[in-house]
Amino acid sequence: MTAQTTGRPVLRLVALGDPAASFDTRWREDAACSGLDTELFFPVDERAESVEPPRRVCRGCPVRAACLADVLATEDPARRYGITGGTTPAERRTLHRAGLTTAPAATVPAAGGDVA
C-alpha cells in the first residue's frame, strides 16, 4: 500500500507507540518557525484570531508531522502551552487522550486519518 500524495503536508494519525512515529530531531533544521519571534506561538488565548497567525506558519511547515509527534511524545500533560505542530494545547490534549500521535505521511500506509 502506498501513501497518498496531495502536494501539501499531511499529518497521518497513528497510535502512540507506533514504530512508524519514531524519528530523530534533525527535522528541526527545516522548521518554518526557525528564526521567527517565539511570542507568535504563545498567543494570549485560544480564540481563532489569536491562534490563526501561528497556525498559518505551521500549515506551511514541511516538518509539521514530526513536530507534532515530538510534542505529543514529550510534552508534560499538565503543562501544555502554545501553538506547536499547528495545534492548540486543547487539541493536543484531545489527541493525547485518544492515544494518537502523527507520523510523516511517507512512513505510514494510506489507511490512517489525515489532519490538514
**Cell 505542530 belongs to residue:** 85
Give DSSP secondary structure letters for 24-59: -GGGGGG-TTTTS-GGGGS-SS--HHHHHHHHHHHH
Give the separation between CA 74 and CA 10, rounded to whole angstroms. Answer: 21
Q: Is the dihedral of CA 105, 110, 115, 116 positive or negative?
A: positive
Q: Name the minimum Å distance from CB 1 to ligand SF4.
A: 26
Q: Which of residues 49-88 bind ligand SF4 (CB under 6 A)?
A: 57-58, 61, 63-64, 67, 84-86
Q: Is the dihedral of CA 99, 88, 60, 48 positive or negative?
A: positive
33 binds ligand SF4 (CB under 6 A): yes
Q: Which of 3, 16, 31, 73 binds ligand SF4 (CB under 6 A)?
A: 31
Nearer to ligand SF4, 55 or 111 (CB): 55
Nearer to ligand SF4, 67 or 72 (CB): 67
Q: Name the minimum Å distance from CB 114 to ligand SF4.
A: 15
Nearest to 114 by CA among 19, 5, 31: 5
Residue type, 44: V
Q: Name the minimum Å distance from CB 48 to ligand SF4.
A: 17
Nearer to ligand SF4, 86 or 112 (CB): 86
Which residues of this chain interact with ligand SF4, rule CB under 6 A? 31-33, 57-58, 61, 63-64, 67, 84-86
